[in-house]
Amino acid sequence: MPEKEKITDRDNALFEAGIKLGALYHQFIGTPVSAETAEALETAIEQSVSLQPWVSLVKAKIDREKVRERANEFNYCELRGEMLDVTVVVR
C-alpha cells in the first residue's frame, strides 16, 4: 500500500480558493444588476467573500458593457459568470 502523501500549503491554498470562488458563483449569479448598481454589487461580493477564512484579498469587477448589452426594458439584467472578473488571494 502506498504511503500517504502529505497535504501541502499549495494544496490547501488551491482548495480554499476553489471553495471561495464556488461560493461566490452560487451566491451571486442571477442577482439583478444594472450599470448603475454594478459598483455596489462589486463591493458586496468583495466584502462577503473577504469574511471567509484564509482570504487576504478579494477584487471583483463586473463588465458594465456586458451588463448594458443584456439589459432588459427596465435597464437591468441578471448577473452572469462571463460578466465577472474576480481575484481571490488566500493565505
Coil/strand/helix, residue 2: coil
Q: Domains of the chain (ranges plus CATH)?
A: 9-90 (3.30.1300.20)
Supply 25's cell numbers.
458563483
Contact status, residue 62 vs residue 38, Cβ threshold 8 Å = yes
β-bridge mates for residue 57, sequence order: 89
Is the torsion defined by CA of 72, 76, 80, 85 positive or negative? positive
- Provide the pLDDT confidence category of residue 32 given band limits of 50, 70 and 90: very high
- Provide the pLDDT confidence category of residue 4 given band limits of 50, 70 and 90: confident
